[in-house]
Amino acid sequence: MTGKVGDLRSRFDDDGYIIVDSEVFRISTRDLSVQLADFVRACNFACIDRDLDQRYLSDFISEIARREESNAITSPLYQLLPTVPAVYAFATQDDLLRILAGIGVAQPTLGTSPLIRIDRPREKKYQTPWHQDIWYSFSSEASVVIWMPLGEVTAAQGHLVVLPDSHRNGTLPFKVYEEGHEPYTPREAPDESRRQTVPVKFGEIIIFKQTLLHKSGDNLSDRCRVSMQLRYNEMKDQKQPFATFVAKYSDHVVEQQKRYLATND
């Protein structure tokens, strides 16, 4: 589903999501994918083989994952990639902000730091259950999520799955999710018979309401599914200013602090 900005609002309100072609943006998702792979290559990390020449980030990461042991490289890359300036250039470009304004997000702030997911083949630990992103913000119901693949995504790699019309029910009661990495899931199990698979092509983005129930598909392929997620809060007409996330030290910094203290006591 694609269309001009003026045509998107009614579809967004009806379906709870829209799919937009990023190729018309100043920076497309394909551009971003290339820029991120080039950035990592240019860093000349000793742990990454110099012969990797894959153009798109998903192919680049998949080859790294194939060669590594115990996620030794992809885990730190997971923390590094969202800090690359190209991510923020994409997230703040006028083409994207204009679409957000057109669907009702007039004064957006980043609801969390950008997230670049690396869903490794057949890895179950980080699989997501049904959830609403509004649980992570408790902001305006106009707040939205943007999800985009940073490479081709096949059915075997797992497409996004949504529950139609669930965005109309507001913030649902939720409970702690004890079976995996994600913290929350609905108290009442969604009706799986109504689930809808939403393929998003490489070059497209999906924008959905934070109240839309959704989850990631299982990656049953032999390649990584690499995607980026952006959350935007609508701050217009809020009663007071607030933020929904704060920065914290990375694993690298925490480890270096421990080493420093151990050697300088």
| Digit-coded pLDDT (tens) for 198-216 | 999 999 999 999 999 999 8
Fold of 5-259: Jelly Rolls (2.60.120)
Q: What are phi and psi of 202, to 5 degrees?
A: -65, 125
HSE of 15, CA atoms in CB hemisphere, 13 A? 16
What is the maximum alpha-carbon separation in the chain? 64
This prediction's pTM: 0.92
H helices present in the chain, as ranges? 5-15, 29-42, 57-67, 74-80, 85-91, 94-102, 251-263
What's the mean pLDDT in 137-146?
A: 92
What's the mean pLDDT in 19-45?
A: 98
| Digit-coded pLDDT (tens) for 148-200 | 999 999 999 999 999 999 999 998 888 887 776 666 788 888 898 999 999 99
* 27 confidence band (pLDDT: 50, 70, 90): very high
